[in-house]
Amino acid sequence: MTILVAILLFGAIVFIHELGHFLLAKKNGVTIHEFSIGMGPKIFSIKRDVEYSIRLLPLGGFVSMEGEDGESKDKNAFGKKSIIQRASILFAGPFFNIVFAVILFIPVFMYIGTPGTTLSQIVPNSPAQVAGLQEGDKIESVSGEKVNSWQDVVTNLTNSEGKEVKLVIDRDGKDQELNIVPEKNEEGRYVIGIAPKYEKSITKAIATAFTTTGDMIVQMVKFVGQLITGTVPGGVSNSVTGPIGVISLVSDAAKTGIINVVYIGAIISLNLGILNLLPIPALDGGRLLMILIEALRGGKKIDPNKEATLHIIGFGALMLFMLFVTYKDILRLF
């Protein structure tokens, strides 16, 4: 049952991605041949103006557009559309995944609550306890910087780099000032030994969903940079996972409750969106790069057949990498 949940979740995320491409292609009048979820042999299909299909392997999906790879005489072919139209169609898939991640995060934070600036716990023998912080204190500013969220508190403490900070707190309706020297924890962040009180609010859940998505995008971009430079802690092969690994993660989450499945789903959707924007041939980012080059050349198109060949090579390289990652996933499972 947990594996079925994982496959359905992965299929939903792929569906959202392809739906973005599909809707923008429709809006811009592109001839579409097929909207498919999954790869490999068809197990179900229905023909309307477009063929809608489900394929055997839940490893991805695609929207087959006339003239996307190679030349076409169809006036409604993808390649006949303007630079802006083509770019919007390609960008829509990753964008839908990012939006979907925000939507999934909202019920997660509505359920667990969002961390505020009121303290629920003081770690014994921590800088916070030594300085006199108490449960129920509300942090109003850190070193003169007004804080409106727990993330503001964390950011200001991190930026202190271990130097003394001045906290203004509200205790029983009265402002007090405390001087505290943060200490570095095992993760390399500067902390003072406090935990926030979680508040359940739909408006705060929405705001936290957006900020969490933004923070994760920054972390993903940093991770991609580490992948490129080969500086990923633990090595590249141990830091990435394929469909089998993803299904395993979701299956584990499904055993602990639906809210964990939704949370993992948001992260997977965000990963799919960001990774698809990388300028690698065959990915949406690679195709967007070709359009950017075309724009810089004053609208002079790259030979469609040469571009198609480049994307085929890129797709082959991605499949080889996927096989390698899947092999590592299997080794980890056993």
Q: Which residues sit opposite 34 in a β-bridge?
A: 51, 64
Q: Would residue 140 show up in a list of annotated catalytic residues for this protein?
A: no
Handedness of CA 240, 242, 244, 248 (dihedral sign): positive
- The half-sphere exposure of 184 on its side-chain side, counting CA atoms within 13 A, is 7
**Measured CA distances, 173 to 136, 139, 180 (Å):** 11, 12, 21
Q: Which of 18, 66, 68, 307 is catalytic?
A: 18
**Measured CA distances, 72 to 32, 94, 220, 297 (Å):** 13, 26, 37, 22
Measuring CA to CA, which residue among 61, 16, 73, 47 is closest to residue 243? Answer: 61
CA dist., res. 96 & res. 9, Å (int): 15
CA dist., res. 97 & res. 7, Å (int): 17
Q: For residues 320 and 326, is the Cβ–Cβ distance under 8 A?
A: no
- The half-sphere exposure of 197 on its side-chain side, counting CA atoms within 13 A, is 12
CA dist., res. 234 & res. 232, Å (int): 6
Which residues are the active-site residues? 18
